[in-house]
C-alpha cells in the first residue's frame, strides 16, 4: 500500500508535509528546503522535518483531520 503524502508551501523555502501512517493515522512535518523544486524536496521534509502540533497541522490540512486519526 502506498501511503498518501501532501505538501503545502508556506514560503518558497518552507514546506509543510502531511503523511499518512500505516493504520489510518496521520501526522505533519515542517522543514526548510532549497526552494528549487518542491515536488522533489517534500520527501526530505517528510523524513527529516519537525513534527507540527496537531492544531497547526489540522489548520493546514483540514481534510486530513476529518478522515484520519492524528498520530501522537
CB 68 within 8 A of CB 20: yes
For residue 1, name the pLDDT band (cuts at 50, 70, 90). Answer: low
Specify the DSSP element, H or E, that contains 62. helix 62-67
CB 22 within 8 A of CB 60: no
Range of the domain at 19: 5-70
pTM: 0.94
Q: What's residue 71's pLDDT?
A: 95
**Domains contained in the chain, number:** 1
Judged by phi (left if over 0) then psi (alpha if -120 to 50, else beta), residue 35 lies in left
Strands 69-70 and 50-51, sheet pairing:
unpaired
Amino acid at each position: 500500500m502506498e501511503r498518501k503524502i501532501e505538501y503545502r508551501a508556506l514560503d518558497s523555502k518552507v514546506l509543510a508535509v502531511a503523511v499518512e501512517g500505516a493504520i489510518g493515522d496521520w501526522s505533519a512535518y515542517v522543514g526548510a528546503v532549497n526552494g528549487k523544486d518542491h515536488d522533489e524536496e517534500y520527501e526530505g521534509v517528510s523524513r527529516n522535518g519537525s513534527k507540527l502540533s496537531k492544531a497547526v497541522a489540522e489548520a493546514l490540512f483540514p481534510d486530513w483531520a476529518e478522515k484520519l486519526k492524528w498520530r501522537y
